[in-house]
Amino acid sequence: MIKIFDTTLRDGEQSPGCSMNLSEKIQMARQLERLGVDVIEAGFASSSPGDFRSVEELSRVIKNATVASLARCVKKDIDIAYDAVKKAVKPRLHVFLATSEIHMKYKLEMTEEEVLERIQKYVSYAKSKCDDIEFSAEDATRSNVKFLCKVFETAIEAGATTINIPDTVGYVTPNEYHNFIKEIKEGTKGIENVDISVHCHNDLGLAVANSLAAIEAGATQVECTINGIGERAGNASLEELVMALKTRKDYYKKDTNIVTEEIMNSSNLLSHITGVKISPNKPIVGKNAFAHESGIHQHGVLKERTTYEIMDPKSIGLNKNSLVLGKHSGKHALRDKLNELGYEINDDELEELFVKFKELSDVKKTVFDEDIHAIMIREFQKVEGGYELIDYNAFTSDGKESKTVIKIKKEDEVIEMVGSGRGPIDAAFDCMGKISGSDIKLKEFSIYSVTQGKDALGETILRVEHDGEIYAGKGISSDIIKSSILAYVNAINQFSGGEVIEDAI
Ligand SMILES: CC(=O)SCCNC(=O)CCNC(=O)[C@H](O)C(C)(C)COP(=O)(O)OP(=O)(O)OC[C@H]1O[C@@H](n2cnc3c(N)ncnc32)[C@H](O)[C@@H]1OP(=O)(O)O
Ligand SMILES: CC(C)C(=O)C(=O)O
Ligand SMILES: [Mg+2]
């Protein structure tokens, strides 16, 4: 059995534009639990009060999976990480220190001896607080293998129950990694009593191949993320890894606890939460992964699906029969759909959402899954004390400067302002800039149609820069000017005094 350690909420969140608020992390963690992952790395508790709160809250919410927090070999990090995970049913402390020459010399400014001492000291300290300890040798694949064996021996003697061999910069190749792990297995005393974990980055597009090679060499845990998000080019993608093991069970002869039918839900939920789209040719979860365009392939698939499909789409949760939601649907069907899409809600939340659902179904014939995601994403974005759009009017005609008037509320104050620009959206952003009185630069802006038909919902995703920091905003509406204003409001609410409502659905 291969343990799946999901780090979507920690390493995944380290990818630019993938930050999640607490309510988004809770929804995602619940979905990861339905997916059946063994370990959820909930965050790096000491890195910020927000990270602490989310690790602490996830430790309360998650019942089956182990909940881990990352910590440096620093007392304060370990204390804070333990405080955050201590209420979990199965807590884990994940302690790390770099072991490559380049990291030790330039980053840590430590000698090999100092690194070994520090590992001994802080893994023992972590062990005095928590039974389940993972130790990671950051940049392991660029470390001297003999030194690495000493590193792991030290960590195991100090109480580590899992040792992790990360390919931090995505440098290694599959055969090389396979041999490297074999060498570590042969050269490290006590390694037979602990889990061997791997954590691969995708800088050369080899993260999944390297993880699979590591499994063949004896790794018992793989670290990965949904949709492969993560630092730089990302981490090994959970769905690719798991489906490779499942589809080629004849070769790998290994199982995981993953409920593969939950893969599509997990992937869609993350993509909706982060606003990061999945490329159509992405293996397993891309729009084209099970699509057949050419005649010869279509002919083959019509006669026998397996001529061109190595996986059954149903095995990842595609093509499930589902109830069609519309203006005549009731709360049971809405709850059923929300659960099917990976959202858990209580009765009060259902009442509130049902009102929004009815408003939408009055204007749309059919409410698609994407519409439901859109309603939920709006709920996640609620901000207490932040700006709230009340109304807007746009005046535009070909070749002339456009004007947009926005009426907006912040706490009890209603503000009305006019902006001008090249087109109504440019004018709306000019107006929002004046309202917030801040120096804001628009860095990225895209609008996607998220549902079908002429009444489709448009999703705006943008990034703005303020005070050297980048803030992402999302807005959804059947009116693209409104979705753009909502996205802008969502972005500026993150720095203009609003506080994300932690218990929003
Ligand atoms: C490979 C990975 O993914 S590692 C995880 C990366 N994730 C993150 O860094 C996200 C969160 N990080 C943060 O918010 C901040 O970096 C913090 C709060 C953790 C630390 O912030 P700061 O104290 O300002 O330090 P800063 O980030 O500038 O530098 C890192 C410091 O940690 C030290 N350090 C790095 N790794 C380790 C380690 N594993 N154990 C002990 N010390 C370490 C560095 O040497 C440096 O020390 P110095 O301040 O004495 O020079
Ligand atoms: C903290 C460690 C496991 C990491 O993310 C890496 O080395 O990539
Ligand atoms: Mg990493």
- pLDDT tens per residue, range 162-216: 999 999 999 999 999 999 999 999 999 999 999 999 999 999 999 999 999 999 9
Q: Using pLDDT thresholds of 50, 70 and 90, give the confidence band for residue 93.
A: very high
Residue 497 has pLDDT above 70, yes or no: no
Q: What's the rounded mean pLDDT across residues 63-86?
A: 98
Q: Among 96, 102, 169, 202, say which to mutate for ligand 2: greatest number of ligand atoms within 8 Å of CB.
A: 96
How confident is the model over 103-121, as pLDDT tens digits?
999 999 999 999 999 999 9
Distance 74 CA to ligand 3 centre (A): 19
Q: What is the pLDDT of residue 181?
A: 98
Could you tell me the CA-to-CA distances from 341 to 64, 103, 337 in Å, in that order? 20, 43, 6
Q: What's the rounded mean pLDDT across residues 275-296?
A: 88
Instruction: Point out the domain boundary residue: 351, 380, 409.
Output: 380
> Is residue 262 domain-resident?
yes
Which range has the top average pLDDT, 219-228, 325-334, 381-390? 219-228
> Is residue 299 domain-resident?
no
Instruction: Point out the domain boundary residue: 354, 380, 406.
Output: 380
Whether 350 and 467 share a structural domain: no
Instruction: Point out the domain boundary residue: 274, 289, 310.
Output: 274
Instruction: Identify the residue with better confidence: 500 or 80.
Output: 80
Q: What is the pLDDT of residue 148?
A: 98
The domain of 410 spans: 384-500
Distance 77 CA to ligand 1 centre (A): 10
Please tell me if the CB atom of residue 115 comes closer than 6 angstroms to any atom of ligand 1.
Answer: no
Q: Using pLDDT thresholds of 50, 70 and 90, give the confidence band for residue 321.
A: low
Q: Among 105, 107, 134, 225, say which to mutate for ligand 1: greatest number of ligand atoms within 8 Å of CB.
A: 107
Please tell me if the CB atom of residue 231 comes closer than 6 angstroms to any atom of ligand 1.
Answer: yes
Whether 402 and 475 share a structural domain: yes
Q: What is the pLDDT of residue 501?
A: 40
Distance 201 CA to ligand 3 centre (A): 6
Whether 362 and 461 share a structural domain: no
- The ipTM of this complex is 0.98
Please tell me if the CB atom of residue 14 comes closer than 6 angstroms to any atom of ligand 1.
Answer: yes
> Is residue 310 domain-resident?
no
> Is residue 305 domain-resident?
no
Q: What is the pLDDT of residue 366?
A: 75
Q: What's the rounded mean pLDDT across residues 395-399?
A: 86
Whether 389 and 376 share a structural domain: no
Ligand 1 nearest atom to the CA of residue 107, by list position: 45
Whether 100 and 33 share a structural domain: yes
Residue 499 has pLDDT above 70, yes or no: no
Please tell me if the CB atom of residue 51 comes closer than 6 angstroms to any atom of ligand 2.
Answer: no
> Is residue 459 domain-resident?
yes
Question: Which ligand ends up closest to the CA of 197?
Answer: 2
Whether 373 and 474 share a structural domain: no
Indicate the SS3 state at residue 318: coil
Instruction: Identify the residue with better confidence: 340 or 82.
Output: 82
Could you tell me the CA-to-CA distances from 404 to 37, 70, 306 in Å, in that order? 48, 47, 55
pTM exceeds 0.90: no
Please tell me if the CB atom of residue 169 comes closer than 6 angstroms to any atom of ligand 1.
Answer: no
> Is residue 303 domain-resident?
no
Q: Which two tokens stand for residue 210?
A: 């390297």
Whether 152 and 245 share a structural domain: yes
Residue 269 sits in a domain of what CATH number?
3.20.20.70
Asked whether the beta carbons of 225 and 238 are under 8 A apart, the reply is: yes
Q: What is the pLDDT of residue 505?
A: 39
Q: What's the rounded mean pLDDT across residues 484-495?
A: 87
Q: What is the pLDDT of residue 90?
A: 98
- Nearest CA owner, ligand 1 atom 7: 14
Please tell me if the CB atom of residue 199 comes closer than 6 angstroms to any atom of ligand 2.
Answer: yes
Q: Which two tokens stand for residue 505?
A: 């659905």
- Within 10 Å of residue 212's Cβ, how many Cβ atoms? 26
Whether 56 and 131 share a structural domain: yes
Residue 378 has pLDDT above 90, yes or no: no
Q: What's the rounded mean pLDDT across residues 75-97?
A: 98
Residue 503 has pLDDT above 70, yes or no: no
Please tell me if the CB atom of residue 6 comes closer than 6 angstroms to any atom of ligand 1.
Answer: no
Residue 500 has pLDDT above 80, yes or no: no
- Nearest CA owner, ligand 1 atom 33: 108
How confident is the model over 407-462, as pLDDT tens digits?
998 888 899 999 999 999 999 998 988 888 888 888 889 888 876 666 777 889 88
Please tell me if the CB atom of residue 134 comes closer than 6 angstroms to any atom of ligand 2.
Answer: no
Asked whether the beta carbons of 133 and 123 are under 8 A apart, the reply is: yes
- Nearest CA owner, ligand 2 atom 2: 138
Could you tell me the CA-to-CA distances from 440 to 165, 387, 434, 499 in Å, in that order? 42, 15, 10, 19
Please tell me if the CB atom of residue 138 comes closer than 6 angstroms to any atom of ligand 2.
Answer: yes
Residues in the chain: 505
The H or E element containing residue 97 is: strand 91-98
Asked whether the beta carbons of 54 and 42 are under 8 A apart, the reply is: yes
Q: What is the pLDDT of residue 410?
A: 86
Residue ranges of the annotated binding site are: 11, 199, 201, 235
Q: What is the pLDDT of residue 502?
A: 41
Please tell me if the CB atom of residue 27 comes closer than 6 angstroms to any atom of ligand 2.
Answer: no
Asked whether the beta carbons of 402 and 422 are under 8 A apart, the reply is: yes
Please, what is the average pLDDT of the chain?
91
Whether 143 and 57 share a structural domain: yes
Whether 133 and 221 share a structural domain: yes
Whether 341 and 412 share a structural domain: no
Q: What's the rounded mean pLDDT across residues 291-318?
A: 87
Residue 322 has pLDDT above 60, yes or no: no
CA dihedral 19, 266, 42, 153 (to 10 degrees): -120
From first CA to last CA, the distance across the chain in angstroms is 35
Distance 489 CA to ligand 3 centre (A): 32
Q: Find the range with the poorest average confidence among 8-12, 67-71, 462-466.
A: 462-466
Domain count, the chain: 3
Please tell me if the CB atom of residue 276 comes closer than 6 angstroms to any atom of ligand 1.
Answer: no
Residue 441 sits in a domain of what CATH number?
3.30.160.270
Whether 389 and 254 share a structural domain: no
Residue 248 has pLDDT above 70, yes or no: yes
Q: What is the pLDDT of residue 376?
A: 84
How confident is the model over 211-238, as pLDDT tens digits?
999 999 999 999 999 999 999 999 999 9
Instruction: Identify the residue with better confidence: 74 or 488.
Output: 74
Distance 200 CA to ligand 3 centre (A): 7
> Is residue 308 domain-resident?
no
Residue 371 has pLDDT above 70, yes or no: yes
Q: What is the pLDDT of residue 327?
A: 82
The amino acid that residue 166 corresponds to is P
Contacts of 324 (CB under 8 A, 6+ apart): 366
> Is residue 505 domain-resident?
no
Q: What's the rounded mean pLDDT across residues 231-247?
A: 98
Residue 280 has pLDDT above 80, yes or no: yes
Q: Find the range with the poorest average confidence among 68-82, 115-129, 194-208, 309-323.
A: 309-323
In degrees, rounded to 5, the angle at the alpha carbon of residue 245 between the alpha carbons of residues 69 and 43 is: 10
Distance 433 CA to ligand 3 centre (A): 37
Task: Write down the residue that tokens 């793989």 correspond to.
Answer: 222
- Nearest CA owner, ligand 1 atom 24: 47
User: How does DSSP classify residue 7?
Assistant: -
Residue 359 has pLDDT above 90, yes or no: no
Cα–Cα distance, 137 to 104 (Å, whole number): 11
